[in-house]
Amino acid sequence: METIELSLSDIRKLTFDILITQGCDKKNASSISQIITDAERDGCESHGLFRLPGYIASLQSGKANGRAEPKLTTKSPVIIEVDGQKGFAPIAHEVGLPRLVSAAKTFGVAALSLRHILHFAALWPETEYLARNDLVGMACTSYLPKVAPHGTKSALFGTNPISFAWPRKDNHPICFDMATSSTALGNVQIAAREGKLVDEGIGLNKLGEHTRDPAEIIQGMLLPFGGYKGSALSLMVELLSAGLTGDFFGFESEAQNHDDGGPALGGEFIVAYSPSMISGEEWPEHTESFIRRFKSLDGAYLPGERRYAKRRDEGTRKINKALYDTIMKLN
Amino acid sequence: METIELSLSDIRKLTFDILITQGCDKKNASSISQIITDAERDGCESHGLFRLPGYIASLQSGKANGRAEPKLTTKSPVIIEVDGQKGFAPIAHEVGLPRLVSAAKTFGVAALSLRHILHFAALWPETEYLARNDLVGMACTSYLPKVAPHGTKSALFGTNPISFAWPRKDNHPICFDMATSSTALGNVQIAAREGKLVDEGIGLNKLGEHTRDPAEIIQGMLLPFGGYKGSALSLMVELLSAGLTGDFFGFESEAQNHDDGGPALGGEFIVAYSPSMISGEEWPEHTESFIRRFKSLDGAYLPGERRYAKRRDEGTRKINKALYDTIMKLN
């Protein structure tokens, strides 16, 4: 694979400039270019520049609003709703997350219901933000149907990711962010681009038959991870991020989607807990005793560590040359 | 397998009488016998009478308090803590859940932190209770180390179940309750009792090698379900039910456990959301449109349906004769 090298500030500026060219205002362009740069910084290739053509597609089709001014309302002291006004998720987070932090610190638990957003990024930025404010964070969002519920041969669920972050006093948060599908669709798209087969159990072709060909899976569907248990969790994500927010289920989003290849309209549900209030001030020492035990096991991996390791490297990032060329044509 | 038949009221009375004989007061005996009877009613053999010898063992060793009077405190209008006073979980639920319902209905979200309990039952009774009160419920609890984190060969996690329930207006809630391990330890114990092999991937022997022999797994350890993703969820359960409640992590519980074969001391974390407040009054119709779509798929299974089907049968339940004989010796 031919690559080029870009610095993180190059990535941010390139992305920002393209988004401005495509009609975003500065606040929207800034929040999206930051989230894309953060993904490249952390080695999350599938959520970095790889996503930019999709963002642009949703702007060009008129589905996404690049000048969104999200509206915040409080339904109770601990229920915050942000209407993203059909903008991308990052600017809605900028409006909602600080208020979520404040409510969770005051009352011990609070929830942020996001509606009318287009979420095309990873979810760890929002849960990591909560954990860096000494809160436990959980977030989930649904997406266009691409996953067959366990036992079926038809896509109904999205890849429906869940993210969770646990705060640590003198360390990066523990933080995972995972699709409830066998893998993220971005990974299958990258395998297709690179001409590689994927593992058995990742997905089905459009007839509902097992296949290892990523191109066939893109035409067909993914499977949930972990059989019926992962399928139940994917159902939970669909219910929380659509049923509970009141926004689109994946199949509803699909029914009115512009089919532009970009992200779709939907909701996201985020909850934050204050361990200081729930457990008391001794929570950091108590939990560190467990983390030490965990890390003492041969082969144990604390979620988030690979990202933080990549993050320590402030140098250039290798970018797929074909992707770069595609992006430059958008400018 | 030789079985005998007992009515549900026989099961409840038998269990209640034994618990009274073993020193429980009527309120504790009543709450435990109800939870055991409900499990047998719903076909959850691994959480029914099969658990009674374990309850008794923890009473006899002095670890469990059969006359517990749980103490409720509120840390904020939406954070409720119940100290179970080293009693079994069901009586702590009786004290805490009605207050959780009230807080969640008033504020939209509320959490119940349970400490100093011994949880030896399924978790669906508490989440189903929330859903029958028009709330979305989630619950999780950790347990004695029996599961090797992904990539390791040492037990650190418990089977660490998660339960989730979604309310429906004219129907049973959607409700799942699943170990984050490959299977519940009770299922491995039942396989051992019945002389059956379990599937590959369920567990490791005490050297950390794969085995299908349930007796070797009981001596060794289980694996998480779904590889690193299930392992991350098990870690989350440990952090929520011990780190966030302030109660024992599994390894702490083990360090002071009486090794009596019964349940161990620990915590449980429960959260409830009000869809009426968060989403608005149209939530039932909106979600039913998704559920109809889900149920229209060939092979789709809505979590909880098997239990509700069993529940409709008000007749006798088949009980393992050897288990029955063991139990009668406790009376």
Give buried/exposed letters for A123-146 (b at 16+ CB in 10 A, else e): bbbbbbbbbbbbbbbbbbbbbbbb
Asked if the model's pLDDT at residue B52 lies above 90, the reply is yes
Residue A261's pLDDT band (boundaries 50, 70, 90)? confident
- Burial label for A192, CB within 10 Å (0-12, 13-18, 19+), is middle
Supply the pLDDT for residue A237.
98
Interface touch A154/B298, C-beta < 8 Å: yes
**Residues of A numbered 174-213 whose beta carbons fall under 8 angstroms of chain B's beta carbons: which are they?**
174, 176, 178, 180
Supply the pLDDT for residue B45.
85
Supply the pLDDT for residue B297.
97
Element (H, E) at A270: strand A265-273
3-state SS, one letter per residue, for A53-74: HHHHHHHHCCCCCCCCCCEEEE
Q: Is residue B194 part of a domain?
A: no
Nearest-angstrom CA–CA distance, A66 and B217: 56
Phi (first) and psi of residue A62, to 5 degrees: 85, 0
Q: Is residue A56 part of a domain?
A: no
Q: Is residue A55 part of a domain?
A: no
Mean pLDDT of chain B: 96
Asked if the model's pLDDT at residue B186 lies above 90, the reply is no
Q: Which residue has the higher pLDDT, A255 or B93?
A: B93
Question: Residues of chain A with pLDDT > 70: what percent?
Answer: 100
Supply the pLDDT for residue A130.
98
Q: Is residue B206 part of a domain?
A: no
Which residues form the domain of A85?
75-181+224-293+300-313
Supply the pLDDT for residue B97.
98
Supply the pLDDT for residue B185.
83
The 3-state DSSP class for residue A184 equals coil
Interface touch B229/A229, C-beta < 8 Å: no
Residue A93's pLDDT band (boundaries 50, 70, 90)? very high
Residue A131: CATH number of its domain: 3.30.1370.60
Question: Residues of chain A with pLDDT > 90: what percent?
Answer: 93
Q: Is residue B243 part of a domain?
A: yes
Asked if the model's pLDDT at residue B217 lies above 90, the reply is yes
Supply the pLDDT for residue A256.
82
A150, A235 contact by CB (below 8 A): no
Minimal-distance CA residue of chain A relative to B286? A243
Supply the pLDDT for residue B259.
82
Q: Is residue B137 part of a domain?
A: yes
Q: Is residue B76 part of a domain?
A: yes
Using a CB-CB cut-off of 8 Å, the residues of chain A touching B242 are 286, 290
Supply the pLDDT for residue B256.
83
Residue reference for tokens 């999200």: A70
Asked if the model's pLDDT at residue A139 lies above 90, the reply is yes
Domains: count for chain A: 1
Interface touch B136/A240, C-beta < 8 Å: yes
Phi (first) and psi of residue A175, to 5 degrees: -155, 115
Question: Residues of chain B with pLDDT > 70: what percent?
Answer: 100
Supply the pLDDT for residue B330.
84
In tens, the pLDDT along B140-175 reads 999 999 999 999 999 999 999 999 999 999 999 999
Q: Is residue A24 part of a domain?
A: no
| B174-178/B203-204 β-pairing | unpaired
Supply the pLDDT for residue B46.
84
Residue reference for tokens 């709450």: B31
Supply the pLDDT for residue B187.
86
Mean pLDDT of chain A: 96
Asked if the model's pLDDT at residue A186 lies above 90, the reply is no
